[in-house]
Chains A and B, each alone.
Chain A
Amino acid sequence: MSTSARDAARGVVRIDLGSIERVPPGEGQTFLVEGREIAVFRSRDDVVHATQARCPHRAGLLADGIVGDGRVICPLHGYRFELASGAPVGNACAALHTFPVELTTDRRVLVWVPRGSRSEVA
C-alpha cells in the first residue's frame, strides 16, 4: 500500500495549498482546509510549518504573529510557541496542534490534515 493510500485509510488527507509564494517570506497565513482553519508559516529561509490557526488562550490569529527562530509570538498577548512541536515557550498555555507539512521540489505546500466535514466550519 502506498503512503498516500494508508493516510487516506486513516482518514488523513493530503491537501495542496498551492505555491509557497502565497505566504509572504517570514510570515504566516491562515488557510481553510477541510473545514478547519490552519495557520501556515514560512520562515525567511523557506522552512514551512502548520499549526492550529488560533491560540488556545484567547483565540488570537497566530498567522498574524511575528515569526522567527522557529517560533511564533501571538499577536494578542505575546505568548510564544514552538512551530515544530506546538509547545508553549515560557508560558503555561496549552500546546498548539500541529500538522505535518511538506514543501515539494516545485515549491508547493502540502499539508496532512484529518478528513474534515463541512459541519466543522462554524
Chain B
Amino acid sequence: MTSANGGPIADGERQRLVVIGNGMVGARFVDELLARGGGERYEIVMFGDEPTGNYNRILLSGILAGSHAPEDIFINPLEWYATHGVTLHAGVRVGSVDRESRLVRGDTGVLEPYDVLVFATGSSPFVPPLRNMSGHGTETKEGLFAFRTLDDCARMLAHAPTARTAAVIGGGLLGLEAARGLLERGLDVHVVHLRSHLMEMQLDPPAGELLRATLEAMGVTVHVDTETSALLGAQRVEGLAFADGRTLACDMVVVSAGIRPNVSLAIDCGLVVDRGIVVTDELRCPGDPAVFAIGECAQHRGQLYGLVAPLWEQARVLAERLSGRVPDAVYTGSRVSTKLKVAGVELAVMGDQEPASTTDEVVTYSEPSRGVYKKLVVRDGRLGGAILLGDAGAAPMLLQAFDRGTALPENRAELLFQLAAAERAAGVAELADSAQICNCNGVSKGDLVAAVRGGHCTLRSLCEATRAGLGCGACKPQVQQVLELAAGDAVRDDPSVHWYVPGVPLTKAELVRAVREHDLRSVSAVFARLAGGREDAGSKAGLASLLRTIWGKDYDDERDARFINDRVHANVQKDGTFSVIPRIFGGVTTAAELRRIADVAEKYAVPMVKITGGQRIDLLGVSKERLPDMWRDLGMPSGHAYTKAFRTCKTCIGSEFCRYGVGDSTTLGVQIERRYQGVETPHKLKLATAGCPRNCSEATTKDVGAVAIEGGQWEIYVGGAAGTRVRKGDLLVVVDSHDAVLRYMGRFMQYYREHAKYLERTFDFVERMGIDRLRAVLVDDVEKICAELDAAIDAAAEAYVDPWEEATAPVHPSQFADLLEPIGPAPAAAWENR
C-alpha cells in the first residue's frame, strides 16, 4: 500500500485526510470514499463554512417557493458525520493552510494536520460593484440578498412578507429560480439582466427570447440589456438605478450575477491558481503531491464546471484514486449536459448551442404559443449539441445519443418529436403497478418504483436490486423509463454504463489502449494493473473475450475467466447437465454422420434428441463427466452452440435442387461455416444464406445474412434479429461471388469484434454505429482499415482449434469432474500441526 504522495503507509496506521469544504462536492467525495473502504485508510476531517451538514443546493429555490422545507433537502445531516466516523468542523472557516508543516488552521484556532488535503471550497456569488450598497456603516443594506446558502434563503423568507416588489439582478439559471420562488411568495418580481437574452450561457437568442415570453406570461417582468449601477435608499433598499438613467422602485434585491470560485485560501498557501485552482488529470495540484482540488473551485484543462454531474464525477474519480480501488483513476473532463426545470419550465441542454462550422447541420423547431423551442446541432451524423425548452420529452434519448456518440436517424424529426419512443414512454406511465416490465425475471412496474423510492436511482443499481433487465436485457429501455418516471430529477447518470465491464472503469477503447500499452495478456494481469487487483467475477468473461480478440494465439488463457460453458465446451442446462451439439456445416449432413449420432444417443441413453433452430442436432441431458467420451465417439467437431462466437450458418436448399434458387446457398453456407467456425465475438453470431429472395432460411433477420438475387449476385445484410427483438438487417453491400461474400462477412465480424461492447448483439451494434458509417468503413474503406480487418479475421479463423480435442487432453484433471470424493477423515496430525 502506498500513500497519495507515494510513500509507504505503516501497517495498521491511518493517514489523515482533511477536506476543506462540506458542500455538494466535498461531502459527496467523502461519501464515495467511504463507500470504497476509505475509512480503513484515512482518518477523515472536514471543514464547512456553514453550521449544518451537506444539503442539496439545487433545491434552495424550492425552499424559497415553499415547496420544500429545509430539512427536506439535507443529503448528509450532522448525525451522518458522527455515525461514519468523520470529524466535521461545522461553521468553521479555514483561516490558513501551511503546506510546509501540513497543517490546516480553522478560524476558531483549531489545528488539523494532514497527510492528504482536498480543496472543495466551491464558489461564492459574484456581486457586481454597485454604488450605495451598504446600510449602517459596513453592514449590508437591509433588503439586499445573495442567493447561495440556506442562511440566505432564511433571511430572504424573513424579509419577503414585508416586501412588495423584488428585483433579481442576473437572468441566469439561479436568478430565474430565485425569481420563480419569490413569485410564488406573492411578490411582484423583476429580473434585471445585463445581456441581450436570458441564460446566455445555456441558450441561444431565440430560446432566451422564448423563455422571456414564458416568464412574462407567469407575471415576471424581464429587463434585458440593462446594467444596474446603484442601489437606491438609505438604510433599506428602495430601488435600483440603471446605467441608462432609468430607475426601478423595489423593496428587495437579490443578486445572482454569477459565481466566482473560492480560491483565496489556495492563493494564500501558494498553489497554482488561474481562474480556479489548477488541477491535473489526477485532480492533483501541480507542485504538491499531497493536495487535490475538486468541484467549482477547481480548474481542469482550462475548464471550470458549475453543474453537479461533472463535479460528482470528479468526486468519484478522486475517491477511486485515494481509496486505492483504482489507484491510477483519472478525470479527463466532462461533456456537459443537463436536464432541469428553470422556473418550472423544462429545459435540457447539451454540447454546443451553435454550429461550429459550415458543415454542421442545424435543425430547429419553434412553437411560441406553447413556449416550445428545440434545436439540434448535428455534426457528422452525430449530435454535437441540443437545446430543448418547454418540452424536454425527447431529452433522455438525445442525452443518450450525445453521451454515447451514436449515429442519428436520417429523419431528424424522429429525434425532435420522438414519435415512437414517446408512445412507449407514455405507455409506461399509464401501466398499472402490477404490469410486468421484465419478462425474464418477472419484475413489475410496482417492484421497480418501490426500488427507486428505496434509493436505487441509477439504471444499474435498479437492475441489480430488482433483477430487471438482467435476463435477455430487452426491457432495459422500459426500466430506464420507469426510473425516470419514478425518480424524476433524482435520476443519476451512471458512468459505469460506458465501461466495457463493470469491474474495470474504462471504456472499450480506453481498455484496449491500456491492454496494449501495458502488454496485459491475461485476465488476472488486467485486474492487477487496471482494477487495483480486485478480480470482479462479473467482468472476467468479458475481459477474456476482449483479450482473445486483441492477442489471438498469444492470449494467456486462464480458464477460470471462462463461463462454465466455455470450460467444458457444452451448454449448461437448468438441471446442471449439458447439451452436446456437434457441428453440421451449413445443415448439410450424411447418412453415416446421422447413424453415428444415433449410436451415441443410444449408447449414452441421451434423454432428448432435438433438431435445433440452427439446423443441427442437440443431444440433451448429458453429465459433465461423460462429455469427453461422447465427443470421441461422435468423431465430429464442436458446434459451438454454447459460446459467444460464430455459431452456425443456416442454409436453404438453393440452386442445387430448388426450382426457384438463383444462388448456391448450401455451398456458400458450408464455406462460411468452415471458414469462421468458433471465431469468438462479443455476443453470439447466427448467420444464414438464402438461395433466392423468398428467403426460406430467414437470412434477413440473422446477425449476418446473404441473399442470392438474379444475376449471380448476393445481398449481404447485417444486424438482423428475430429473438427478443425483431429487426430486418441493413443491406451492407451487394457482391457477385462467394469469395466476396466471405470477405465482407469476415470484415464485418472483425469490426464487430473490435468495436462492439461485450454482450452487445449485432442488431444493437449496427444501430449504434449506423449503416451509413459501416458502409463507409467496410465498403468504401474511408478509414483505410479494411486490409487490417481482413488480415485480423483471417488470423483468427486460421488460429481455430476444435475445443473438443480436449477430450483427449484436458487442461486440468478436474475439468470434466462432476463430483469428487474426499480422501477420508482428516488425520489429527495433519490438522493439529498446521
> Which stretch, B204-212, B529-537, B667-675, touches the partner chain A?
B529-537
Query: Which of B567, B817, B822, B824 has the most chain A CB atoms inside 10 A of its CB?
Result: B822
Are A68 and B559 CB-contacts (below 8 A) given A16-B822, A29-B820? no
Asked, given contacts A68-B536, A104-B831, whether A31 binds B822 with beta carbons under 8 Å apart, the answer is yes
Q: Mark B521-544, 1 if CB is under 8 A from A, else 0.
A: 000100100000011111111000
A14 touching B831 by the CB < 8 A rule?
A: yes
Are B561 and A33 in contact, with the CB atoms below 8 A? no
Residue of B nearest to A71 (CB): B537
B553 to chain A, nearest CB (A): 22
A105 CA to B564 CA in the complex, in Å? Answer: 30
* Choice from A30, A67, A80, A102 contacting B831 with Cβ under 8 Å: A102
Chain B residues with Cβ under 8 A from A16's Cβ? Answer: 822-827, 830
Contact A27 B834 (CB under 8 A): no
Q: Is the CB of A69 within 8 A of B537?
A: yes
Contacts of B535 in A (CB 8 A): 26, 43-44, 68-69
**What 0/1 readout, one digit per residue, does chain A (36-80) give for beta carbons within 8 Å of chain B?**
010000011000000000100011110011111101110111101
The A81-112 residues at the B interface (CB cut-off 8 A) are 90-91, 102, 104-106, 108, 110-111
User: Cβ of B813 < 8 Å from any Cβ of A?
Assistant: yes
B187 to chain A, nearest CB (A): 49
- Supposing A104-B834, A110-B830 touch, asked if A17 and B822 sit within 8 A by C-beta, the answer is yes
Alpha-carbon distance between A1 and B812 when the two chains are bound, in angstroms: 41
Total A-B residue pairs with C-beta atoms closer than 8 Å?
137
User: A11 at the A/B interface (Cβ < 8 Å)?
Assistant: no
Residues in chain A near residue B567, CB distance under 8 A: 27, 64
Contacts of A66 in B (CB 8 A): 537-538, 540-541, 560-564
Q: How far is the CA of A68 from the CA of B825 in the complex (A)?
A: 29
Choose one: A24, A73, A80, A102; the contact of B834 (CB below 8 Å): A102
Partner-contacting stretch, out of B73-81, B464-472, B584-592: B464-472
Contacts of A18 in B (CB 8 A): 820, 822-823
Decide: B564 and A75 in contact? CB cutoff 8 A: yes
Q: Which of A4, A15, A71 is close to B832, meaning CB atoms less than 8 Å apart? A: A4
Nearest CB on A from B168, distance (A): 46
Asked whether B822 lies within 8 Å of A33 as measured between CB atoms, the reply is: yes
- Once the chains bind, are B812 and A24 in contact (CB under 8 Å)? yes
| Contact, CB under 8 Å: B560 / A67 | yes
Instruction: Give the complex CA separation of A61 and B824 in angstroms.
Output: 23
Given A14-B825, A73-B538, are A26 and B558 also a contact pair (CB < 8 Å)? yes
Residue B818 is within 8 A (CB to CB) of chain A in the complex: yes
Interface string of A18-35 (1 = CB under 8 A from B): 100011111101111100
A3 to B834, CA, bound (A): 13
Chain B: which residue is nearest A53 at the CB level? B819
B813 — which chain A residues lie within 8 A by C-beta? Answer: 22
Q: Is B828 in the interface zone, CB < 8 Å from A?
A: yes
- B455 contacts partner chain A, Cβ-Cβ < 8 Å: no
Q: Of B464, B541, B561, B576, which contacts A61 at CB under 8 A?
A: B576
Cβ B560 vs Cβ A24 within 8 A = yes
> For residue B536, which residues in chain A have a CB less than 8 angstroms away from its CB?
68-69
CA distance A54 to B819 in the complex (A): 13
- Cross-chain contact B823 with A17 (CB below 8 angstroms): yes
CB-CB under 8 A for A15 and B822, given A24-B814, A44-B560 = yes
Once A24-B559, A61-B576 are accepted as A-B contacts, the answer to whether A4 and B830 lie under 8 Å apart by CB is no
Contact indicator A68/B821 (Cβ below 8 Å): no
A52 CA to B527 CA, complexed, in Å? 28
Contact of A2 with B by CB under 8 A: yes
The answer to whether B464 and A90 have CB atoms under 8 Å apart is yes
Find out whether the CB atom of B822 lies under 8 angstroms from the CB atom of A30.
no
Q: What residues on A are CB-neighbors of B538 within 8 Å?
A: 66, 68, 73, 80
Q: Bound state CA distance, A5 and B539, in angstroms?
A: 44
Q: A73 vs B441: C-alpha distance in the bound complex, in angstroms?
A: 16
Chain B residues within an 8 Å CB radius of A13: 825
B680: min CB distance to chain A, Å = 17
A26-B820 CB under 8 A given contacts A4-B828, A14-B826, A58-B574:
no
User: What class of interface size applies to chain A in its complex with B?
Assistant: 35 or more
Q: Please, which residue of chain A has its CB at the minimum distance from the CB of B833?
A: A105
B572: Cβ under 8 A from any A Cβ: yes
Task: Kindly state the separation between the CA atoms of A110 and B535 in the bound complex, as whole angstroms.
Answer: 25
CA distance A77 to B573 in the complex (A): 11
Report A54 CB to chain B, min CB distance, Å: 8
Complex Cα–Cα for A72 and B572 (A): 17
Residues in A neighbouring B822, C-beta threshold 8 A: 15-18, 31-33, 111
- Residues from chain A with a CB closer than 8 A to the CB of B575 are 59
A90-B537 in contact given A18-B822, A32-B819 (Cβ < 8 Å): no
Q: Give the residues in chain B near A2, CB-CB below 8 Å.
A: 828, 832
**Which of B503, B534, B824 touches A15 (beta carbons < 8 Å)?**
B824
> Which chain A residue shows the least CB distance to B817?
A29
Q: B332 within 8 Å of A by Cβ?
A: no
How far is B441's CA from A23's CA once the two chains are assembled, in angstroms? 32
Task: Say yes or no: A22-B820 contact (C-beta < 8 A), given A58-B574, A68-B537.
Answer: yes
Contact of B819 among A30, A58, A106, A110 (CB under 8 A): A30
Interface string of B459-477 (1 = CB under 8 A from A): 0000011010011000000
Query: Closest A-chain residue to B524, C-beta based?
Result: A44
Q: Mark B439-482, 1 if CB is under 8 A from A, else 0.
A: 00100000000000000000000001101001100000000000
Nearest-neighbour CB distance to chain A for B451, whole angstroms, equals 11
Q: Which residues of B contact A31 (CB under 8 A)?
A: 819-822
Q: Which residues of A contact B558 (CB under 8 A)?
A: 25-26, 44
A21 to B824, CA, bound (A): 16
Question: Which of A2, A24, A75 has the most C-beta atoms of chain B within 10 angstroms of its own C-beta?
Answer: A24
**What is the bound-complex CA distance between A67 and B561, given in angstroms?**
8
How far is it, in angstroms, between the C-alpha of A31 and the C-alpha of B539 when the chains are bound? 27
Measured in the bound complex, the distance between the Cα atoms of B582 and A42 in whole Å is 32
Interchain CA distance A112-B834 in the complex, whole Å: 15
Which residues in B have their C-beta under 8 angstroms from that of A37? 819
Closest B residue by C-beta to A79: B467
Q: How far is the CB of B197 from chain A (nearest CB, A)?
A: 48
A110 to B822, CA, bound (A): 9
Query: CA–CA, A29 to B524, complex, Å?
Result: 20
Residues of B within 8 Å of A14, CB to CB, are 825-826, 831
Q: Is the CB of B830 within 8 A of A108?
A: yes
**What's the nearest-Cβ distance from chain B to residue A37, in Å?**
7
**Chain A residue contacts of B823, Cβ below 8 A:** 16-18, 108
Of A22, A23, A33, A104, the residue contacting B830 (CB under 8 A) is: A104
Name the residue on B nearest A58 (C-beta): B574
Chain B stretch 777-834: residues in CB contact (< 8 A) with chain A: 812-815, 817-828, 830-834
In the docked arrangement, what's the CA distance between A43 and B574, Å? 26
Residues in A with CB closer than 8 Å to B828 are 2, 4
Give B527's nearest chain A residue, CB to CB.
A68
Question: In the complex, which of the residues B441, B562, B564, B828 has the most CB atoms of chain A within 10 Å of its own CB atom?
Answer: B564
Q: List 27 A-B contacts (CB under 8 A).
A: A2-B832, A4-B831, A13-B825, A15-B822, A16-B824, A18-B823, A24-B815, A29-B817, A30-B820, A32-B819, A32-B820, A32-B822, A44-B524, A44-B558, A60-B576, A66-B562, A66-B564, A68-B527, A68-B538, A73-B538, A75-B564, A77-B471, A90-B465, A91-B467, A102-B834, A104-B831, A108-B830
> Which 10 pairs of residues, A with B, have the shortest CB-CB distance?
A26-B560, A68-B537, A68-B535, A64-B564, A14-B826, A90-B464, A18-B823, A16-B826, A104-B834, A24-B812
**Which residues of A approach B to under 8 Å, CB–CB?**
2-4, 13-18, 22-27, 29-33, 37, 43-44, 54, 58-61, 64-69, 71-73, 75-78, 80, 90-91, 102, 104-106, 108, 110-111
Knowing that A4-B831, A26-B524, A65-B564 are A-B contacts, what are 14 other residue pairs whose CB atoms are under 8 Å apart, sorted by A's residue number? A3-B832, A16-B822, A16-B823, A17-B822, A18-B823, A60-B576, A64-B567, A67-B537, A68-B503, A71-B537, A73-B538, A76-B572, A102-B831, A110-B826
Chain B residues proximal to chain A, CB less than 8 Å:
441, 464-465, 467, 470-471, 503, 524, 527, 534-541, 558-564, 567, 572, 574-576, 812-815, 817-828, 830-834
